[in-house]
């Protein structure tokens, strides 16, 4: 079960204030600031106060945070206070990060960076670069995030600012942790910790000790993980930092779970849950509820062993399963409230397991259906990251254009004598833009057509463009391939979400390359499942042979990848069946080309009854390929909803 475990990048920029309310936090600080606002003159102090309000609101109400940052920006420009302009833009960027509007956040941070570079303010330049790094990290673009962090590190080293150096080193360590480069993660985090200890920065010591513990946990070195997690806990207790204490307790509980020490895991997870409830932090509450449920489920597995057929576990041993189900249901309720799809899908999967072990098959099936729905939603949500990355690229382009425009305006102000020449240049630029836009329109049209061909077969795409609709058609014969990764859910517990999606993308990209060689049409991916078919829309007399050949290549690719990467990738099951299908487009919005029929269902059953690294084919497919491939008869196997089916493994 996933927990609130991930390292958090520390925002390098910090507001400095000498007012009495600066020590307050949250709503109490907002109330104090709002009381001071009407009394403050229209000067630079009011700009600072407005931006302080904006930063404080960023964790409570981002709309209010944006409003006060904009007020600060307008006042700074009115006063001509150049240092206030990047301050306000940073506050705006901070609020848009919280809103997950990364393109706007990046745009404001880039404006702030440009302003601070013009002012020659190296300290704020480093802070701006750190903020830009956080935007890229939030999108999962860790290489770009590292690029800006190393820039910030260089600035702080030139300034001799040990606190800034330690923050950068610690954040670099976290990014390498996200990239699963654990040796480098430890290298940079230990460097940060050393500086924290030199300057007696207890918050830094706590944060970096916790992240070192987390890295050791990922490496499976649980004694070392616990050593540093307890060190972090002690520091946070000295600081009275409830959020830090809660996170450390949760991490200790997670490490004990991984170690198999379930009593210890429960003890610390319950402590962590109590603090999360006191803080009214639903995300942290959900993480702990899920971990507690997972502990009880693991205890139940240890005491009941593996289920055999439909035999229920003995009476008197159901208590731990009932507790697990209770905590999973509580976690699911909170995850739905917070919109945390990752935790929600994991909990539904574990709940289905617990219900099945209890013998409640009807509810177990329903939970599994819900799990599959949310699993697909998470996969689609991760794809949105790619769209967000495109947005940040656009923001960089817009910022660069703004810089160019500013240069033109400044040149005009400094030298009125070249006004006529500047006018001619502007005219040339306009003509160039018109020409470029026409070229871009042609390019975008081609991109749209390429995208349509990436979604639909060429024949279907042509029919859709010509008629506006594409009719569903029967294709016979065809051969259908289903694949599914073994241990995908458990991999999600030990891998960061970005790492998990990255590995999934790498595998599916290779699958796409393989099937493109064999006259095979990819239909779709659903979570970690992959569906393809040969024999449509154009008939293919070798449909079965091509599918089996592609399946062998896919299986070999995953076997070699597993040998090289170990637990960082997955095992795979493959199932194949031949017959007839109906294919067509579903719906009118976000339409998808799909296939239906008993052939598809039977291929799915072939995959479900296969084993890791095996290609399981039906008797129908066997008759079509037996002269081309060596096959091993498995006998008749009871397939869910299909009865007894003859099955063969392709050797």
Band of pLDDT at residue 357, cut at 50, 70 and 90: confident
Choice between 317 and 339, residue whose per-residue pLDDT is larger: 339
Q: Does domain 472-650 have CATH number 3.20.20.70?
A: no
Is the per-residue pLDDT at 404 higher than 70?
no
Cross-strand bridge partners of residue 571: 486
Evaluate whether 577 touches 606 at the Cβ level (below 8 Å). yes
Choice between 604 and 334, residue whose per-residue pLDDT is larger: 604
Q: What is the pLDDT of residues 149-168, one digit of tens each?
A: 999 999 999 999 999 999 99
Band of pLDDT at residue 17, cut at 50, 70 and 90: very low
Task: Say what the pLDDT of residue 251 is.
Answer: 86
Task: Say what the pLDDT of residue 608 is.
Answer: 93
Query: How far apart (Å, rounded) are the C-alpha atoms in residues 60 and 4?
Result: 20
Q: How open is the CA angle 91-94-95, to the nearest 5 degrees?
A: 90
Most confident of 46-55, 296-305, 449-458, 603-612: 603-612
What size, in residues, is the chain? 651
- Helix, strand, coil: what percent of the chain each, to 5? 70, 10, 20
Percent of the chain with pLDDT over 90: 34
Task: Say what the pLDDT of residue 254 is.
Answer: 84
Task: Say what the pLDDT of residue 94 is.
Answer: 87
Query: How far apart (Å, rounded) are the C-alpha atoms in residues 242 and 252?
Result: 15
In sequence order, the 6+-apart residues with CB closer than 8 A to the CB of 297 are: 320, 321, 324, 350, 353, 354
Band of pLDDT at residue 308, cut at 50, 70 and 90: very low
**Pairing between β-strand 473-486 and β-strand 529-534 as defined by DSSP bridges:** antiparallel
Q: How open is the CA angle 561-564-567, to the nearest 5 degrees?
A: 85
Task: Say what the pLDDT of residue 615 is.
Answer: 96
Q: What is the pLDDT of residues 529-578, one digit of tens each?
A: 999 999 988 889 999 999 999 999 999 999 999 998 888 888 999 999 99
Band of pLDDT at residue 509, cut at 50, 70 and 90: very high
Choice between 141 and 338, residue whose per-residue pLDDT is larger: 141
Band of pLDDT at residue 18, cut at 50, 70 and 90: very low
Band of pLDDT at residue 31, cut at 50, 70 and 90: confident
Would you list the domain boundaries of the chain? 472-650
User: For residues 366, 324, 484 and 488, what is the CA-based torsion angle, rounded to 10 degrees?
Assistant: 150
Q: Which of 248-262, 379-393, 493-507 has the lowest mean pLDDT?
A: 379-393
Query: How far apart (Å, rounded) are the C-alpha atoms in residues 475 and 580?
Result: 6
Query: How far apart (Å, rounded) are the C-alpha atoms in residues 165 and 157?
Result: 6
Task: Give 313's DSSP letter.
Answer: P
Residue with tokens 């139940």: 300
Percent of the chain with pLDDT over 70: 78
Task: Say what the pLDDT of residue 386 is.
Answer: 46
Is the per-residue pLDDT at 258 higher than 60?
yes
Query: How far apart (Å, rounded) are the C-alpha atoms in residues 505 and 626?
Result: 33
Evaluate whether 265 touches 232 at the Cβ level (below 8 Å). no
Task: Say what the pLDDT of residue 422 is.
Answer: 60
Task: Give 627's DSSP letter.
Answer: T
Choice between 171 and 452, residue whose per-residue pLDDT is larger: 171
Average pLDDT over residues 243-264: 84
Task: Say what the pLDDT of residue 392 is.
Answer: 46
Average pLDDT over residues 105-127: 91
Band of pLDDT at residue 598, cut at 50, 70 and 90: very high
Q: What are phi and psi of 43, to 5 degrees?
A: -135, -170
Is the per-residue pLDDT at 434 higher than 80?
no
Q: What is the pLDDT of residues 141-151, one digit of tens each?
A: 889 999 999 99
Is the per-residue pLDDT at 75 higher than 80?
yes
Is the per-residue pLDDT at 601 higher than 60?
yes
Give the count of alpha carbons within 13 A of 131, CB side only.
32
Cis previous bond, 477, omega within 30: yes
Task: Say what the pLDDT of residue 438 is.
Answer: 62
Task: Say what the pLDDT of residue 573 is.
Answer: 95
Most confident of 279-283, 414-418, 541-545: 541-545
Q: What does the block give as tokens for 75?
A: 């006042």
Task: Say what the pLDDT of residue 424 is.
Answer: 64
In sequence order, the 6+-apart residues with CB closer than 8 A to the CB of 607 are: 482, 483, 484, 573, 574, 575, 616
Most confident of 355-359, 392-396, 463-467: 355-359
Evaluate whether 581 touches 604 at the Cβ level (below 8 Å). no
Mean pLDDT for the chain? 80
Choice between 313 and 119, residue whose per-residue pLDDT is larger: 119
Q: What is the pLDDT of residues 215-227, one digit of tens each?
A: 999 898 999 999 9
Most confident of 54-58, 317-321, 541-545: 541-545
Largest CA distance in the chain: 96
Is the per-residue pLDDT at 316 higher than 70?
no
Is the per-residue pLDDT at 295 higher than 90?
no
Average pLDDT over residues 5-22: 36
Task: Say what the pLDDT of residue 559 is.
Answer: 94
Is the per-residue pLDDT at 373 higher than 80?
no
Is the per-residue pLDDT at 381 higher than 60?
no
Task: Say what the pLDDT of residue 20 is.
Answer: 34
């Amino acid at each position: 079960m996933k927990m609130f475990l991930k390292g958090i990048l520390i925002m390098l920029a910090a507001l400095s204030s000498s007012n009495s309310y600066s020590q307050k936090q949250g709503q109490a600080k907002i109330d104090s600031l709002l009381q001071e606002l009407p009394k403050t003159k229209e000067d630079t102090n009011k700009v600072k106060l407005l931006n302080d309000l904006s930063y404080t609101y960023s964790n409570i109400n981002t709309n209010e945070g944006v409003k006060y940052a904009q007020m600060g920006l307008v006042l700074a420009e009115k006063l001509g206070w150049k240092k206030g302009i990047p301050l306000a833009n940073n506050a705006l960027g901070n609020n848009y990060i919280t809103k997950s509007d990364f393109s706007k956040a990046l745009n404001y941070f880039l404006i702030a960076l440009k302003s601070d570079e013009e002012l020659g303010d190296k300290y704020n330049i480093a802070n701006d670069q750190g903020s830009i790094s956080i935007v890229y990290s939030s999108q999962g673009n860790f290489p770009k995030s590292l690029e800006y962090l190393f820039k910030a590190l260089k600035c702080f080293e030139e300034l001799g600012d040990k606190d800034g150096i330690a923050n950068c080193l610690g954040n670099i360590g976290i990014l390498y942790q996200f990239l699963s480069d654990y040796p480098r993660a430890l290298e940079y985090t230990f460097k940060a910790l050393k500086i924290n200890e030199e300057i007696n920065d207890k918050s830094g010591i706590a944060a970096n000790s916790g992240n070192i513990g987390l890295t050791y946990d990922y490496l499976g070195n649980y004694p070392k993980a616990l050593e540093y997690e307890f060190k972090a806990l002690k520091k946070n207790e000295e600081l009275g930092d409830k959020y830090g204490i809660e996170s450390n307790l949760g991490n200790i509980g997670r490490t004990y779970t991984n170690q198999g020490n379930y009593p210890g895991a429960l003890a610390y997870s319950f402590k962590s849950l109590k603090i999360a409830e006191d803080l009214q932090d639903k995300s942290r509450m959900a993480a702990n509820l899920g971990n507690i449920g997972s502990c009880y489920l693991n205890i139940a597995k240890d005491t009941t062993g593996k289920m055999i057929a439909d035999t229920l576990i003995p009476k008197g041993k159901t208590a731990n399963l009932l507790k697990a189900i209770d905590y999973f249901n509580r976690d699911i309720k909170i995850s739905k409230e917070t919109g945390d799809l990752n935790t929600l899908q994991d909990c539904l999967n574990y709940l289905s397991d617990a219900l099945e072990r209890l013998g409640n098959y009807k509810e177990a099936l329903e939970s599994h259906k819900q799990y599959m729905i949310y699993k697909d939603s998470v996969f689609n949500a991760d794809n949105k990251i790619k769209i967000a990355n495109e947005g940040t690229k656009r923001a960089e382009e817009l910022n660069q254009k703004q810089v160019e425009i500013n240069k033109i305006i400044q040149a005009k102000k400094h030298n009125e004598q070249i006004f006529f020449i500047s006018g001619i240049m502007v005219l040339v630029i306009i003509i160039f833009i018109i020409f470029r836009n026409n070229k871009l329109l042609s390019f975008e049209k081609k991109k749209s057509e390429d995208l349509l061909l990436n979604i639909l077969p060429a024949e279907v795409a042509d029919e859709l463009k010509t008629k506006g609709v594409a009719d569903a058609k029967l294709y016979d014969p065809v051969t259908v391939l289903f694949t599914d990764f073994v241990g995908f859910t458990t991999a999600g517990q030990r891998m960061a979400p970005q790492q998990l999606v990255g590995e999934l993308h790498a595998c599916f990209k290779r699958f796409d390359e393989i099937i493109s060689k064999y006259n095979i049409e990819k239909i779709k991916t659903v979570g970690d499942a992959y569906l393809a078919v040969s024999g449509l829309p154009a008939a293919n007399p070798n449909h079965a042979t091509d599918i089996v050949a592609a399946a062998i290549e896919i299986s070999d690719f995953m076997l070699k990848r597993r040998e090289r990467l170990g637990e960082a990738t997955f095992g795979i099951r493959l199932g194949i069946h031949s017959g007839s299908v109906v294919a067509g487009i579903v719906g009118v919005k976000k339409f998808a080309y799909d296939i239906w029929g008993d052939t598809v269902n039977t291929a799915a059953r072939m995959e479900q009854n296969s084993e890791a690294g095996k290609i399981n084919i039906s008797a129908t497919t066997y008759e079509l390929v037996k002269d081309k491939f060596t096959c091993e008869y498995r006998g008749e196997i009871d397939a869910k909803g299909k009865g007894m089916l003859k099955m063969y493994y392709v050797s």
